[in-house]
Amino acid sequence: MTSTSRTLFAVSEIELIYRNKLKPEDRLKIQDATTAYEILMTVWDLNKIELVEQFYVMMLDRNNACIGVSNVATGGVTSCIVDPRIVFGIALKSRATGLILAHNHPSGNLVPSNADKQLTHKLREGGKLLDISVLDHLIISGKDYSSFANMGYMPS
């Protein structure tokens, strides 16, 4: 094979590695939005919660136990760009079967915007293709939260 043909056929090998530090029996089970909020508050950057919008994803296993939480995006004062490919890349790598979405409104207003509802719908539809359920979307502040599921925005 010539060096030119070797270059034409050069490819990068991709390897996925999965290690979870917690045993399945030690993972916290998410029973409601309050439990999800309490976990999120332990990992959220509280120095930024009233400054910029941030978007996190909580990955759940088949028993609704928390596999982990990932900060997916950080934006500005009034918005945050969330790339569904990043959300589902993390979900797939962590072997999640369920997701809880969460973002903050630096203003403290816990009412979902139209953009929040559209993003949730888009991610729910993407999840259906991958058999990953988007179970809820929380809007949080340092003192409280609102839940799309509790407000009836997460139809079956």
- pLDDT at residue 21, rounded to an integer: 83
d(C-alpha 87, C-alpha 73), whole Å = 10
Residue-range domains of the chain with CATH: 3-147 (3.40.140.10)
Average pLDDT, rounded, for the chain: 91
Q: Cα 22 from chain centroid? A: 19
Q: For 25, which DSSP code? A: G
Distance CA 72, CA 55 (A): 6
Q: How far apart are CA 155 and CA 106, in angstroms?
A: 27
| Segment 65-70 long-range contacts (CB within 8 Å, at least 24 positions apart) | 65/24, 65/27, 65/28, 65/29, 65/30, 66/27, 66/28, 66/29, 66/30, 66/39, 67/20, 67/27, 67/94, 67/95, 67/96, 68/20, 68/94, 69/39, 69/40, 69/43
- pLDDT digits 0-9 by tens, 12-62: 776 666 677 888 888 999 999 999 999 999 999 999 999 999 999 999 999
pLDDT, residue 156, reads: 66
- Give the pLDDT confidence of 128-138 residue by residue, as tens digits: 999 999 999 99
